[in-house]
A and B are shown apart, each in its own frame.
Chain A
Amino acid sequence: MAVSALNREERIGLAIALAAHVALGAVLIARPAAAPTIPLPERMTVTLSEDVGLTSTAPSVADPAPDEALELGEAAPEPAPQPTPVPPRPEPKVQPKPEPKVQPKPVVTKPRPAPTVAAKPLPQPTKAATPPKAAPKAGPAPKPSNAPTTAPKGATSTARTPNAAATQPAKAGGSRIGSDFLKGVSGATGKQATTAPPAATVGPAVRSALAGAISRQLKPKWAAPQGVDAELLVTVLSWDLNPDGTLAGSPRVVRQDGITDANRAQAQRHAEQAMRAVRLAAPFNLPPEYYPAWKRVSDFRFDRKLSQ
């Protein structure tokens, strides 16, 4: 009762306060909403490609993406007679070449690869994210949409450039949509497939799989020494392998971490045990086609994790 009496006044106040908060929240949420959406996809791509995928992960994976990108990009432009104006919504549609972001294709001169990133997010959420990396690498040649996905491979970018160069000039004059759409898609994919070397280069997935395979083979042989603070010790080894999986030379200690006064006595033993584990695991069973990737193990960490 008392509550209700008080409540009346307060209800209003409360309602206002709530409404204000909601409104404020809405405003706050609404504002960021536009911006945050962009970053999310970018993050994903960053972590994935940045790590190890220096050269090519898997050509097959990259293929599908370019196709879509082309279609999308082109579908939009329809109305405009000019080649590239449309795809890049943010930017002027008048001139194909001048456009910084969208129109790398026409010519080698790409004004600025990086700056475009911010603007792009809107037009193509997912693909826009990728361009930053692709653009710098691919350099002048790649098209805006294609570049992101294809960029990782050297082969793709080169394959496409010719296409782009050839097609674009023609488009500028007349119907760009039809020719580019058909040719670009089919041609690009076809060339990629043919030009990309089978497995000459090793992507991050393969690398981590190889590291995992080595780790699995070492594990049963690796026993850290016991002692006070011995679990703090970390030994990092490097070693070379022959194509048949045997050791070439002996393992070397790259460095040791976690040495304290209490466990100093075990440090040497720790390294010795780690090298013993490598020797015992020695004929490593690893896929021969990736030998270039595992012939040198440069940085393998041996430690102990207390079980719970």
Chain B
Amino acid sequence: MNLRLISALALVLAAPAAAQQSLPTPQPTEQVPEEGLSGAVSDDSDWQDLGIAIPAFATDADVPTQTSAGSTAALGMSLARVINDDLKNNGLFKPVGPDALPRPAFGEVQAPAYDTWAGRSAEMLVQGYVRAAAGGQVTVGCYLYDVALKQQLAKAGWTVAPGDWRRAAHKCADMVYSRLSGESPFFDSRIAYIAETGPKDRRMKRLAIMDSDGANHRYLTTGQTTVLTPRYSPDYRSILYLSYFNGSPRIYIYDLESNTQRLLLQSSNAVFAPRWSPDGKWVLYSMAIAGNTDIYKMPAGGGAAVRLTDSPGIDIGGSFSPDGTRIVFESDRGGSQQVYVMNADGSDQRRITFFGGRSATPEWSPRGDQIAFTHIAGNFRIAVMTPEGREMRYLTDSWQDEAPTWAPNGRIIQFFRTTRGSGKAGIWQVDLTGRNERKLATPVDGSDPAWGPLRP
């Protein structure tokens, strides 16, 4: 006590002495008065979604097109609607679509009437035009303006085939999104998932694909066989998936250009979770032999497989880091499901999740800075962590969310959510801050989403 008191007093005494000594010093260092003003301003308001006006795209001549949207004028309206939906559904922005706005004249596209738009309390303005191009193609131009500063921020144009007109809209939305958020684009991408129909005990699971906004939905398999865990190849040409045919698992590669499928691996042993390497040359999968499940790697063209793990437990679900040097996977070698990392050749395996509960289905972000996984402690929740296994953050809080997959820009995660009781599964997405959670509209129940890279 006394000692402490004394030392405390000593401190008290020392402080003034120090202050005294330091006093004189500041004075001699008189700065030149020309130094300039300094200060600070903080943004402490709630996140404000940016107001963006998106009027219908203008056209120089209203001519018919071969697009599903109709004439160029109608197409201009549809383009703006698609852009509006893209931006509206992904947070950050508060867009106002073409249905509530006047349509600018063709000449205004590159010289917007700023005052008009400022009066509508729009901070940003997206304008564009549509023109019929040779060969039935359409040319779409897209411009982003800062209404308050009265300046153009970005512009781009594309000539697309009539069937790809929505891609032009997605590209425009991508331009706006990446310009205003600093992030990489992702709207112009596709999603593969498993469409589920039928009763619980005889569930039909078909492979389906769709655009990132749910449009252009298509079933790839008939449902005669159960299909699981699809993955887009990095070049978008094919989809890797697992199929059970007469009870024996097979790994197929579906070629999207020729609409054919190729058998990659057939085994009498249980096989799980095929995944691409980032360069598309290798396929990871897990195989159970006599109760011991390990991770293997084989060339995408077929060939001899290499075993990467050899622990007595279940090692499953490998996911490559974007540079292809490391693999994150799930293992129960320590007694419960946890996430481990290893080098691409299987060396240096070590556990990275120590969060209590169990951790499953790890997926490395395409940016490499995060790993998404399912954390199981009571409920199943989607969480992210650094590749070192630190700073875990929950992104969702529901009964059963699992199987995260990353958007191409590594800022949004899709997963599937099973509703308690009904067992209905749907595809949801959430951004990396845990906000902007929403359900994707799919024709039937969906599970096992796999987000492909940005389209070339």
Report which A residues bind B (CB closer than 8 A).
24-25, 28, 32, 35-36, 38-40, 42-43, 45-46, 50, 54-55, 114, 117-118, 132-133, 136-137, 201-202, 207, 210-212, 214-215, 218-219, 222-228, 238, 261-262, 265-270, 276-277, 279-280, 292-294, 296-307
Interface string of B318-355 (1 = CB under 8 A from A): 00000000000000000000000000000000000000
Residues of A within 8 A of B17 (CB): 39
Q: Check B39–A50 contact: CB distance below 8 A.
A: no
Q: Choose, from B21-29, B214-222, B265-273, B303-311, the stretch at the interface.
A: B21-29
Taking a contact as CB atoms under 8 Å apart, the answer to whether A279 and B37 are in contact is no
Stretch at the interface among B1-9, B103-111, B193-201: B1-9
Q: Report B178 CB to chain A, min CB distance, Å.
A: 9
Whether B257 sits at the interface, judged by CB under 8 Å, is: no
Residue of B nearest to A308 (CB): B44
User: In the complex, given contacts A36-B16, A39-B17, what are 10 additional A-B residue pairs having Cβ atoms less than 8 angstroms apart?
Assistant: A24-B2, A118-B20, A215-B41, A222-B43, A238-B36, A276-B146, A297-B37, A298-B37, A301-B41, A302-B41
Indicate if the CB atoms of B42 and A297 lie closer than 8 Å: no
Q: Which residues of A contact B181 (CB under 8 A)?
A: 225-227, 265-266, 269
**A301 contacts B92, C-beta separation under 8 Å:** no
Please report the total number of B residues contacting A with Cβ < 8 Å. 51
Choose from A45, A55, A296, A301 the contact partner of B36 (Cβ within 8 Å): A296
Given B26, B28, B48, B91, which contacts A223 in the complex, CB threshold below 8 Å? Answer: B48
A114 to B22, CA, bound (A): 12
A54 partner residues in chain B, CB cutoff 8 A: 30-31, 33
Measured CB to CB, the residues of B under 8 A from A are: 2, 5-6, 9, 12-13, 15-17, 19-20, 22-24, 26-28, 30-31, 33-48, 50, 91-92, 146, 148-149, 180-184, 369-370, 411, 432-433
The answer to whether A43 and B37 touch (CB under 8 A), given A28-B9, A262-B369, A305-B42, is: no
Residues of chain A lying within 8 A (CB to CB) of residue B27: 50, 133, 136-137
Interface of A is mostly: helix
Query: Which chain B residues border A39 with CB–CB below 8 Å?
Result: 15-17, 19-20
Contacts of A300 in B (CB 8 A): 37-41
Cα A301 to Cα B33 in complex, Å, equals 20
The 8 closest A-B pairs by CB, nearest first: A39-B16, A298-B36, A211-B39, A299-B38, A269-B182, A301-B40, A296-B36, A50-B26
User: CB-CB < 8 A to B92: which residues of A?
Assistant: 226
Quick one: closest A residue to B367, CB to CB? A261
- Tell which of B26, B36, B411 has the most Cβ of chain A within 10 Å: B36
